[in-house]
Amino acid sequence: MTTVQVLEAVEANATDVWNILSDFGGIEVGGPIEAFEIEGEGVGAVRTITMGGAQIVERLEVLDNEAHVFTYAIINEDNPLPVANYSATVTVTPDGDSSCSVDWTGTFEAVGDEDAASELVRGIYTGGIQRARAALT
CATH label of the domain that carries residue 126 = 3.30.530.20
Mean pLDDT, residues 83-109? 96
- For the chain, helix (H) and strand (E) counts, in that order, are 2, 7
Q: Does the predicted TM-score (pTM) go above 0.85?
A: yes
> What is the tally of structural domains in the chain?
1
Residue 97 belongs to a domain: yes
The confidence score (pLDDT) of residue 53 equals: 85
The confidence score (pLDDT) of residue 1 equals: 93
Residue 34 belongs to a domain: no
Question: What span, in angstroms and rounded, lies between the C-alpha atoms of 14 and 25?
Answer: 19
Q: Is the pLDDT of residue 7 over 90?
A: yes
The answer for 31, left when phi > 0, alpha when psi is -120 to 50, beta otherwise, is left
Residue 46 belongs to a domain: no
Q: Is the pLDDT of residue 28 over 90?
A: no
Residue 71 belongs to a domain: yes
Question: For 120-131, what is each residue's pLDDT tens digit?
Answer: 999 999 999 999
Instruction: Give residue 107's domain range.
Output: 2-23+61-135
Taking the CB of residue 77, how many other CB atoms lie within 10 A of it?
9
Question: For 50-75, what is each residue's pLDDT tens digit?
Answer: 988 899 999 999 999 999 999 999 99
